[in-house]
Amino acid sequence: MTQSSTLCLDELVFDNRFIRELPADPLLKNSRRQVKKACFSYVQPTPVSDPVLVALSSEMIDELNLSKDSDTDPQFLQVFVGNQLLNGMKPYAMCYGGHQFGNWAGQLGDGRAINLGDVITENNKRWSLQLKGAGPTPYSRTADGLAVLRSSLREFLCSEAMYHLGVPTTRALSLALTGEKVVRDMFYDGHPEYEPGAVVCRVAPSFTRFGNFQILSAQNDIENLKKLVDHTIKTDFPHLDHSAQDIYLQWFKEVCTTTADMIVHWMRVGFVHGVMNTDNMSILGLTIDYGPYGWLENYDPDWTPNTTDANGRRYRFSSQSQIALWNLLQLAEAIYPLINDTKPLEEILQHYNDYYQQQYNDMMANKLGFEQSSEAVEELAIQLLQLLTVVETDMTLFYRALSKIELEESIYMQDSLLHEFFEPAWYQPDQVDGNYLSQLKAWLQNYQKCARDLKLSEEDRKNRMNNTNPKYVFRNYLAQQAIDKALEGDYSMVHELLNVFRKPYDEQPENEIFSAKRPEWARHRAGCSMLSCSS
């Protein structure tokens, strides 16, 4: 895209179909309340005193066809902290409900997110712009609607890292400090502190969630439930046959399919969302709401990054596909009044199970370098995951190391070479004993035999593995290091990480430090292991 073809902010084209076609909360006062028979409330962002731009995504700048000099444009900063509105912007907060940790929580809504409007780009893409941390809304309950640098930086960097990893995700345009101080009790332990306030501009084709439909169904507002479903299909699923009698079932099946695809990608890269409540589930199958997320470093299928979930571990790594299914069941119950037949909904939910398992098996085969799954490859993958729990092993680094082994040679079976290949992935090398090495050798022999039986070439295996298994993931300790520097006014690591994560599958020898396993000092440090929902 050439510089001459870019737009200034005032040239952005807005099409605010959501608020034009759906019922609004008739009250304009920004007071906390229960909202009935409405999909949203009008609200204005809270002005801030002294904004400073920390970072922006050049990819989203290009996607919106904005000038590459936006980082030096004073108007850009004022707009994307909420101090100024562009022509066509009509800010609002969505009304939705949700199940939180398996329990119906009633009305939730955009408590600290304010939608500015939908931009239509020259290639006819729709991008909804949303400020997170721009002040209270009618859905803020007892909260202040604000956000702090700590959580905002984590969201900004992770959403862009996930995009480059190939994981379906909402995006981020900008991260800015507000100049205000915000009180937060990070650990909910009665020790609140002042932290720097910040605003992230989030971007997605739509921010509609399962909970948008649930709240209307729970209120028995079937008229507006139908309006919302019809609007969603027309706006976000234009490729479906809108004249078909089973259009709602077609739509629900696609929601199930894209949700399954998203979870498969999470499992591929070792991402754990941490708070898979139904209000945090995108109707488009996008990763949304980056709160207490984490990356599986040592392979532990029972790990959750969320301190609130530490006891029950409802949202642990290994349960994410089944939690997604449970959430889809709640969506099915919400839209049931439009269908009035449980059988087709049950069949679609069963399809989710079957589809997910096949996609998961193929993904695990790809991680080992095979084109698709087979009974032998599936067994190989299961055995490897069991082996990864015997010695505390970094999942990301193990798969990258595995790609370097020449399966056609037997020399790699020497103990010294196994240490050379895999020691960078072992957190506790002293756990590696003769018994473990024997198990590893046996597995490698099975791997070699399977590759030979399926006539898998070394070149194809390595290419497929290194296109499936990233070298660089956004580990929590990296996030905390970037936060520590940013709190001192040094944003250099934010920009370094943005640059590294643009090519997460490349070797990048100059950035090797960012691929290292979690250091021992970060094992239990706040922000580097588990996080609270305020993180």
What would the two tokens of residue 495 be?
A: 């920009």
Three-class DSSP category at 285: coil
Q: What is the pLDDT of residue 535?
A: 43
What's the N-to-C CA distance of the chain in angstroms?
37
Place of tokens 């002040």: 135
* CB 508 within 8 Å of CB 500: yes
Half-sphere exposure of 492 (CA within 13 A, CB side): 3
Q: What is the pTM of this model?
A: 0.96
Q: What is the pLDDT of residue 4?
A: 45
Would you report the helix, strand and coil content of the chain in percent, each value rounded to 5? Answer: 45, 15, 40
> What are the catalytic residues?
279
Dihedral angle, C-alpha 401, 361, 436, 432, nearest 10 °? 40
Summarised one tens digit per residue, pLDDT across range 454-476 is 999 999 999 999 999 999 999 99
One-letter identity of residue 403? S
Spatial separation of the C-alpha atoms in residues 485 and 142, rounded to whole Å: 31
Mean pLDDT by 10 residues, the chain (535 residues): 71 96 96 97 97 97 94 95 97 98 98 97 95 97 93 97 98 98 80 93 98 98 98 97 93 98 98 97 97 94 93 96 98 98 98 98 98 97 97 97 89 87 95 96 95 95 98 96 97 98 98 96 85 64
Query: Chain centroid to CA 68: how far?
Result: 26
Spatial separation of the C-alpha atoms in residues 517 and 498, rounded to whole Å: 19
* CB 285 within 8 Å of CB 165: no
Q: What is the pLDDT of residue 187?
A: 64
Q: What is the pLDDT of residue 534?
A: 55
Q: What is the pLDDT of residue 44?
A: 97
- Tell me the sheet residues that pair with 146: 134
Q: Delimit the domains of the chain by residue range.
A: 3-207, 211-365, 371-468
Summarised one tens digit per residue, pLDDT across range 349-389 is 999 999 999 999 999 999 999 999 999 999 999 999 999 99
Q: List, in order, residues 6 or more apart from 195 with CB less than 8 Å away.
A: 148, 149, 150, 181, 182, 183, 184
What would the two tokens of residue 490 be?
A: 């040094």
In angstroms, the Cα distances linking 228 to 23, 202, 213, 378 are 9, 22, 7, 41
Place of tokens 């989030």: 202
